[in-house]
Structure 1
Amino acid sequence: GYNWFHFLKNYHFGGCLADDMGLGKTIQTLALLQKHKEDTEEAGSSGTSLIIMPTSLIYNWLNEAKKFAPKLKMMVHTGTFRYKSPDVFKNYDVVITTYGISRIDIDLFKEYFFDYVILDESQNIKNPSSKSFQSVKLLKSRFKLILSGTPVENSVNDLWTQMSFINPGLLGTQQFFLNEFVTPIEKKKDEDKARRLQALIKPFVLRRTKEQVATELPPKTENLFYCQMSEEQAEVYEKIKSEYRNELLKSIEEGTYAKQHIQVLQGLIKLRQIANHPGMIDAEYEGDSGKFENVVHTLANVLDGGHKVLIFSQFVKQLTIYREYFEDKGIPYVYLDGSTKNRGDVVQRFQEDEKTRVFLISIKAGGVGLNLTQADYVFILDPWWNPAVEQQAIDRTHRIGQTKNVFIYKFITKDTVEEKILALQQRKLGVARALITTEESFIKSLSAEDIKEILG
């Protein structure tokens, strides 16, 4: 990765480092900046680089920098008392800030000429009309790099903004890119176009998968766990399902189906919640949940074996049900969702405290930049539309530095939408693997037939 950076630097190209999660994009970048500092100082000058990242990663970057590049002078430009003028930047090698702040302070940043501008988790700028993209386009620098494990989260179109940031003009205007590549590849599944696009961006994108490089990573084993609904649960489920199904079939007949995406989504979310635990949609619900019983039972076995577990769900309500249970049973746990402020402390407690062996994480919050190598079990409580996000969750534990084998349990409730989502995921993954994309936005790509099948 490091050599490739130098190839780009010599030819003044921008690049996208898209290695799989856990392969050390942060460290490769720090090595580059360290070497860049040495070269610049040898040449008798100095320069400052800027790294923009999601807020949740700042702690991680500083930590790694302390460990791997202690000579780099880092300045964190966030918080209410941050500097209001760019003059201080020149006293540092690296300035770190967040996407949010870079938007607010763009007038200050664009005054300064940086050596490198680096975007971490660059899928944050995938929307060309977003403020984030508009403002990073105004930054001035000699070199540009982006880091992202998933440069294409939903659509091939995600590539355009990220590529036009590092190498403006490479993929033409956005309209051209849409007509020339996005539409043929996504709508017509045009293999030639996909190959042409790959050839175009290949020199500027370095992507290595775990399987290719890290023979030193212990293998991960995935297990599917099928859960039976309890009787009361099945009753609630059937009732809600037939309500939605009748409504949808009616709309398909009347041809208003296309307008119903939101309803479809709401219906599916509700059914997924019931499949997990009906208590999530009905606080009065007294019965039990098949999946909950299974998870608790499996968890007891894992904890008895002295292991540490990450439990992911995308529903905060579901995590709340588990929190209440753990408190009731006196099981020590840590918890993290989007609103958690002291992430660093929470992670540290889980990594270092013997007794804290359970970590509940909301997938949305925990998807980014957490190092949780102490855990050797991962429970995924609900399958996700987007396999890429699920992969991110698994990769939290499966990083370099992990010496144990990682076991992943996915809990699926039988005879519910969850099982159908899984089948659809399997079908779609073929498409996803073929491109560097991870998945087109799932709901939009569902035909009326797919929906009928899901609600069947």
Structure 2
Amino acid sequence: MPEMHPYSLEPGQLSYVVRDLVKTSFGGAAPSLNTTTIDLVVPSSEDAPLPSPWLKKSLFGKSHQVKDMVMGSWRVNAVHLPPPIALKWLVSVKIPRATQRFAYGESIQFWKEAANLVFYSLIHGTYQPVLEKVDHQIRAHWLLNSKILSNQLENMQKRLPTCCSAEWNSDGARRTKESIIRDFFDTSIDHLVRHVAGPGAMEAFAGGRSQRKRKKQNPLDSLTLPLLKALYSKQNSFSAARDVQTAFVALVSNWLGSSTQGSNRLWQTCFTVLPPEIGNAKIEDLDPRARVWRVVFSLQNIKDPSQHIYAQEIWENLVPTQTGGESLPEKFLRDLGRALPHMPELREVLDEQYPTHVDLSTEEVYAFLADQAPHLQSADFGVVLPNWWKKESKPLTTKISIDSSAFESNGMLGFDSMVNFSWKAAVGGKPISDEAFQKMVKHKMALLPIDGQWVEIRSEDLITAVNFFKDRDTRGEMTLREAVQMGLKSEDLKSVFQDVSFDYEGSLAQLFENEEEKLPAIEQPATLVGQLRPYQVRGLSWLIFNDHLGFGACLADDMGLGKTIQLLSLILKEREEGSVRLNSTPTLLVCPMSVVTNWYREAAKFTPSLRVLIHHGANRHGSETFFKVYNAYDLIITTYHLVNRDSEMFGEIKWHRIALDEAQNIKNPSAQQTQAILKTDSDRRIALTGTPVENKLSELWSIMEFLNPGYLGSLKNFQSRFAVPIERQGDRKKAQLLRRLTQPFILRRLKTDKNIIQDLPEKNEMKVYCSLTDEQAAMYQGYVQQQLNQIENAEGIHRNQLVLTTLMKLKQICNHPSHFLGDGSEVDERSGKLMRLTEMLEEALAEGDKSLIFTQFTQMGEILKSFLGEKFEEEILFMHGGISQQQRQVLVDRFQDPKGPKVFILTVKTGGTGLNLTAATHVFHFDRWWNPAVENQATDRAFRIGQKRNVQVHKLITTGTLEDRIDMMIEKKKELAENIVGSDEAWLTQLSTDALRDILTLSLNEG
């Protein structure tokens, strides 16, 4: 006997849990349940069972492979759910269950789908009676008609979760997937027919019988009622819907009638499809309206389906026409009339005296194969289909071919250039000609002759293609932007174009291959002071290649890989080669205020021959002076704020190039500074950013709209086509398509990739969990209760404001009571997080290491600066929004000095981008920003080129609080797309009050 599973609940506990789960399906009344034991065969190690891969993936985000795994037998306690309870619960259960007490496994979702299909079968009559004689008694069962639902059953067998087939039978034999599925369906259907359709149908049939007696005695009546009684039980019955009862009566009547037809019961009318000979025929030579398919009539032997009596033989008296009961001609003609509702084309042959067959067009025969044949089979007709039917169903795939070679010249290409386009199609991977494709779409041909045999196209593919090309040409000439948009619009369709691809020719082919190694080799500028790394040379080559073609490009190298020097090298290369006239307009560089000085210094250091002007500050040129001098410079540096403020002045110039540093600053398409930049005129555009997507995909659209206007369509269309499916539904195909579309114009390289850079040390990230002090815990609980009461009664914007205020205040409590109260009170020993930070800083300082501390709040930074300065008797640097640009550079220089202060506190917004702080080897995130991209930006102040030592990143989290819960939510959201979690804390305002309560409430077990 197998050993007891170590994780199996005790019978009493298990019964309580299951009763609690199912009682809501029974109006709150918990049904009585019986416990039992079963033997399961599950993956195990030598001495213990292993957790399921599904559970591991749900908890940890990935499955873990285990070495030396064996299949072991274990005994577990189980609850037996009778069909009434199981079915009623399965169809009403909500998945996923909104509770932290239970997690439904994948098997529950599977059986829920199966239960819904059972009810479908009941309503549509896809079941049949089976009688057997046992001990001189008739026993009856209602079973699923597997012929009608064969596709669904086969699909369910393929998707049956492994855990569902773990049970042994009593004799020790493993059950097959087919038997598991069939047992569930047969048991459920038998129960439903007996207890739902049976009693009502019995009464309906009895009523009909009384009426028949008044008209004419039916010889079947003597058999009907006894058989009906054998087919259902009155126990626990309840009335069914009238359509269910009617379907039930019709099914029983037809079955009883056909079972008493004497020896003619051995024969059924059959329809055999004979395809036309196609030889080497091509699609374009085929007339889809010609009636070349033949459906031949016959009587088929039920016991030996290969035996046929063809209609021609019957009419020519080549076979006996009387086999008992009624003659074969009578049966044959009666059956053709009975088949007419399922096959309207029979009407034209029923008028003939001796019907033998019906001829159909390709379109008509497809309707017969796809729709009519299953109905005929369910009505007890035989159907003989071609061997290739359903076995050779092929997907229709398409690609749009875009050829620019005929329009290319020495000038820039760009999205407004003309290209030739044509749609190319393939069926089952075999290309078909343009003529064949157009004919297939025009005539809705779902059956095609390919390589000497008939092939079926999936109907949904054909419908999609027909709809898409209804008002479009399959070939022609248009701008590159229009051609790409045509391909993009195809992605809104359901099936054909889910795998749409672009086939580029000419220079476009090289661009869209997006392989750095295949780009023309470029030497670094001769007058560049310094040596570019190999990947930086490739980046420069890539920028030049896109520039020459007239496409905007986003250099999205990881922070610290040297985007600055690559752009400066591009400008310098142009000047050296004379591709830019000395008196042409300069490149306008737009960057955050915090890095203006850094850009000026980097240009002076690496490209001293470039003429650089800073347009910033109170002493900047006015428009009159600016227009006189700007042409004398190669590079003009300004800020996002000033582009908006001086938009009229900048807008009067057609710039040689506009370059955006930290391009995520235009992530909001409707912001004024974004609109001002989009309106500024330029032939060339470059974006520099380490995070092209910080929070949501609309930010990527905004950057692409700046680089190549109109390429991804309107923002509204982009949201429906990409953002919603990817962000909310996790649509991987859409994500892959978006990646393919944007990849030619985004060069993304990570500094953790050893193929890019080998001499960068490691970054070690760790979460540091801290407990609240008793004072913090009491303050936290009180504030949560107070705020939740208000939030529950609030609506709209007021509710959102309450939620955001609550989140901010709870963060402050987790930081320090003095931060929340703002009373300047005593600091020491009152915050678990501050005590842990102090301990870790003490170790870092003892080792001589320098540290960065990031906080969201200026007030908390002041508290830290004062407390840590007194604690360690060290100078503590602090950068916040009130520090001027000149003062910021002084702070950075002092920290970078080996003899300078060892602790630098920064607010995330002020110090999170553009700074080089490689002197630090420790980064502390004192309070979390809840936006992984922003946190990574801050961390990368230290983890960048120039860093010689490993960087330790410490993220402080108070256990049991909202910090802990939201951190877990963010970890799950990372799987959707690159750091897509919503805009800061704003995404939390949309949660329900119950969900907020779960997040905000302090867990006493953890806190």
TM-score, normalisation: structure 2? 0.43
Q: Which one has a larger percent helix, Structure 1 or Structure 2?
A: 1
Structure 1 position 72 matched with structure 2 position 610: yes
Kindly state the Cα deviation for residue 319 of structure 1 after the two structures are TM-superposed: 1.2
Give the match for residue 838 of structure 2. 296
SS of the equivalent of 2:821 reads coil
List aligned pairs for 1:201-280, cutoff 5 A. Answer: 201-212=742-753, 213-248=756-791, 250-251=792-793, 256=795, 260-280=799-819
Which of 305, 322, 326 is matched with 2:868 structurally?
326
Measured in 1, the distance between the counterparts of 2:629 and 2:583 equals 16
Q: Which residue of 2 aligns with 1:59?
A: 597
Q: Residue 736 of structure 2 aligns with which residue?
A: 195
Query: Match for residue 881 of structure 2?
Result: 338
**CA–CA separation in structure 1 for the residues paired with 2:617 and 2:577:** 32
Shift of 1:42: 8.1
The AA in structure 1 aligned to 2:969 is L
Shift of the 215–259 alpha-carbon distance from structure 1 to 2, 3 Å rule, reads: farther
Find the partner of 1:317 among 841, 849, 859. Answer: 859
1:402 correspondence with 2:947: yes
CA contact under 8 A between 1:86 and 1:109: conserved in structure 2?
A: no
Q: How does 1:346-357 map to 2 (within 5 A)?
A: 346-352=891-897, 354-357=899-902
Q: Tell me, yes or no, if structure 1 residue 447 matches structure 2 residue 988.
A: no
Query: How has the CA–CA distance of structure 1 residues 263 and 374 changed in structure 2, closer, same or farther, with 3 Å as cutoff?
Result: same
Equivalence for 2:563: 25
* Structure 1 residue 223, shift from structure 2 partner: 2.2
CA–CA distance in structure 2, aligned partners of residues 16 and 22 of structure 1: 16
Q: CA deviation at 1:101?
A: 1.2
CA distance in structure 1 between the aligned counterparts of 2:717 and 2:602, rounded to whole angstroms? 40
Task: Please list the CA deviations of residues 57-94 of structure 1 after superposition, one character each: whole Å capped at 9, or x if unmatched.
Answer: 10111121122111111001112232223231111110
State the SS of the aligned residue for 1:281.
Answer: helix
CA contact under 8 A between 2:616 and 2:642: conserved in structure 1?
A: yes
Deviation at 1:4, TM superposition (A): 0.8
Q: Deviations over 1:114-167 (max 9, x none)?
A: 221101111212222222122112222221111111122222111222211111
The answer to whether the 8 A contact 1:383-1:421 is kept is no
Q: Which residue is 1:94 aligned to?
A: 635
More off after superposition, 239-248 vs 20-29: 239-248
Kindly state the Cα deviation for residue 259 of structure 1 after the two structures are TM-superposed: 5.8
Q: Indicate conservation of the 8 Å contact 1:309/1:377, yes or no.
A: yes
Q: Is the CA contact 2:695–2:933 (under 8 Å) kept in the aligned structure 1? A: no
- Amino acid corresponding to residue 319 of structure 1 in structure 2: G
Residues 391-412 of structure 1 show CA distances to partners (whole Å, capped at 9, x for unaligned) of: 1111110001100111111221
Looking at structure 2, the residues matched to 36 and 243 of structure 1 have their Cα atoms a distance apart, in angstroms, of 64
Q: Deviations over 1:371-429 (max 9, x none)?
A: 00001111111122101111111111000110011111122112211111211121111
For 2:822 and 2:977, the matched residues in 1 are separated by 39
Taking the aligned partners of 1:38 and 1:47, their CA distance within structure 2 comes to 16
Instruction: Label 1:28 to 1:44 Cα distance change in 2 as closer, same or farther (>3 A).
Output: closer
Of 341-350 and 404-413, deviating more is 404-413
Structure 1 residue 178, shift from structure 2 partner: 2.2
- Specify the code of the residue in structure 1 equivalent to 2:905: L
Deviation at 1:283, TM superposition (A): 3.7
**Counterparts of 2:822 and 2:901, CA distance in 1:** 29
- Greater shift, 95-104 or 326-335, is seen at 326-335
Q: Distance in 1 between matches of 2:770 and 2:618?
A: 49
Unaligned runs of 5+ in 2: 1-538, 1002-1007
Name the stretch that deviates more: 177-186 or 93-102: 177-186
Q: Which moved more, 1:270-279 or 1:224-233?
A: 224-233
Q: Give the distance between the partners of 2:712 and 2:658, measured in 1 at CA.
A: 20
Give the CA deviation at 1:355.
Answer: 4.2
Please, which of 533, 542, 547 is the counterpart of residue 9 of structure 1?
547
Q: Which has the higher contact order (CA 8 A, sep 6+)?
A: 1
- Write the mapping of 1:146-225 to structure 2, written as runs, cut at 5 A: 146-212=687-753, 213-225=756-768
User: CA offsets, 1:314-354, max 9 Å, x none?
Assistant: 11121111111134343112110112111111100111151
Alignment match, 1:306? 848
Q: 1:86–1:111: 8 Å Cα contact kept in structure 2?
A: no
TM-score by length of 1: 0.93
Partner amino acid for 2:916? N
Match of 1:413 among 953, 958, 963: 958
Does the Cα contact within 8 Å between 1:307 and 1:377 map onto a contact in 2?
yes
- Shift of residue 277, structure 1, vs aligned partner: 0.4
Alpha carbons 1:40, 1:47 under 8 Å: kept: no
Distance 1:11 1:202 in 2: 16
* 1:99-118 equivalence runs, <5 A: 99-118=640-659
User: Structure 1, unaligned stretches of length 5 or more?
Assistant: none
Amino acid at match of 2:604: K
Following superposition, the deviation at residue 298 of structure 1 comes to 1.4
State, as a whole percentage, how many aligned pairs show the same letter.
39
* 1:430 positional shift: 1.4
Seen in structure 2, the aligned counterparts of structure 1 residues 228 and 54 have a Cα distance that, compared at 3 Å, is same
C-alpha deviation, 1:364, in angstroms: 1.2
SS at match of 1:80: coil
The answer (yes or no) to whether the contact 1:218–1:403 under 8 Å persists in 2 is yes
Alpha carbons 1:388, 1:439 under 8 Å: kept: no
Deviating more after overlay: 129-138 vs 54-63: 129-138
CA distance in 1, matches of 2:717, 2:839: 55
The Cα shift of 1:264 comes to 1.4
> How much does 1:308 deviate?
0.5
2-side partners of 1:214 and 1:239: how far apart?
51
Change (3 A) 1:355 1:165: closer
Supply the distance in 2 between the matched residues of 1:224 and 1:189 (Cα, whole angstroms): 27
CA positional deviation for 1:46: 4.5
Partner Cα distance (1:45, 1:58) in 2: 24
Structure-2 separation of matches of 1:258 and 1:183: 23
Aligned length: 449
Q: Secondary structure at the match of 1:225?
A: strand
CA RMSD of aligned residues (A): 2.0
> Of 679, 686, 699, which aligns to 1:138?
679
